[in-house]
Amino acid sequence: MKFRLHVLGIPHTRTNLDYTLCAYTQKAYKFCKMMTERGHYVIHYGVEGSNPICSENVVVVSNEVYNRVYGDHDYRSKFFRYDTNDECYQTFYRNAIAEINKRKQPLDIILPFWGAGTRTICDAFPDLITIEPGIGYGDGMWANYKVFESYAIYHAVCGKSAITNCHQNYYEVVIPNYFDLNDFETNFDKESRLNNPDRYFLFVGRVYDGKGVNIAIQVCQKLGVKLKIAGQLGPEYQNYPWSDMIEYVGSVDTKQRSDLMKNAIASFLPSQYVEPFGGVQIENLLCGTPTITNDWGAFAENNINNVTGYRCRTFDDYINAALNCLEGKIDYHQCRLFGEGFSLENVAPRYEKFFEDVINIYTNEGWYHLKDETLKRIEKLNK
């Protein structure tokens, strides 16, 4: 089955590789490529300068408007700034609704990658199917059909009442984030990583204590090993006294990120909240790099203790995890192998199945619909 998919970009970014710092932007970008290359008709709506691989790329916010609202904000060094009531968002809403009206057909699917941030557009089309395609946000989800990034966030959203009450929704599914294998190079040579005089650990992400950068700093200072930090600076780190041992390298593009990851001893991801997914962890694995994480959230699913890295709960755990990585106890090939499970090619069929299941509600017998292949198996059984 082929689908018609209306992909809503993020109004305060452009859907291109200059905005790798926004996970939701990159999900939209990669999704367009993933589904277009599988033969689906993908229409992307975004800010001028967006360039995803898709069937149609519709500009709904001009550079003039975007730059007037956000042009003076340095998103590479500071957290993103946005306001759903500002001119950029309101222009996005108005023009996206007009453009979808020109193109819509029955059974089209609208995909708001920014969740409630673009709900206004989805609400304008009750005749179409809205699916929230990658929930990594803690609130604001509303659509009848939802895709969560991990079982960690899915179960957190279900809440403790779901343990005793029978009210689960079969059309709230878990499909992990997806990655383009072409974006990541590997380095399986432990000698070059571990015995290099310039060896280093790595932290990539928003640079604030909520992501646990303070833990990464403390561990590396205790061990006397260099730490490289890349990402947007939180307010508390805007004027941080960086040293030769703790080096801030700024924000990095796709190539720079891969180079940093493939040569690191290991990468720290000690988020202090329940991480919905933590895409940086999989990116490291795709470079063959072990990850040192906390022991909750999506890391409990995606960081296999003693295989892809280590999950930690105490400072002693973090220290020993780092020492194990310094001693080369993790097989870099296993890291890469596990990471490949999140490739575009491996994840796309899961979206296709879910989209088909949802459309069956409107065209067949819904939950009870049996595919032709299933009916043939039943027929064979009863011969």
pLDDT in tens, 347-366: 999 999 999 999 999 999 99
Q: What pLDDT, on the 0 to 100 scale, is given for residue 103?
A: 98
DSSP label of 223? H
Q: How high is the pLDDT of residue 286?
A: 98
- State how far Cα 130 lies from the chain centre: 20
- Domains of the chain are 4-178+343-373 (3.40.50.2000), 182-340 (3.40.50.2000)
Q: 3-class SS at 10?
A: coil
Give the pLDDT score at 280.
97
- Residue ranges of the chain with pLDDT lower than 70? none
The proportion of the chain whose per-residue pLDDT surpasses 70, expressed as a percent, equals: 100
**pLDDT value, residue 322:** 98
Report which residue type is found at 306.
N
pLDDT given for residue 8 in this prediction: 98
pLDDT value of residue 273: 96
3-state helix, strand, coil in the chain (%, to 5): 45, 20, 40
Give start and end residues of each alpha helix (H) in the chain.
23-36, 63-70, 87-103, 119-123, 151-158, 190-194, 213-223, 254-263, 279-286, 299-302, 315-326, 332-339, 344-363, 372-381
The pLDDT assigned to 102 comes to 98
Per-residue pLDDT tens over the stretch 165-220: 999 999 999 999 999 999 999 999 999 999 999 999 999 999 999 999 999 999 99
Per-residue pLDDT at 270: 98
pLDDT in tens, 38-73: 999 999 999 999 999 999 999 999 999 999 999 999
Question: Percent of the chain scored above 90 by pLDDT?
Answer: 98
8 Å CB contact between 289 and 332: yes
pTM above 0.85, yes or no: yes
> What is the reported pLDDT for 277?
97
**What pLDDT score does 236 carry?**
93
Environment class of 255 (CB within 10 Å of its CB; exposed 0-12, middle 13-18, buried 19+): exposed
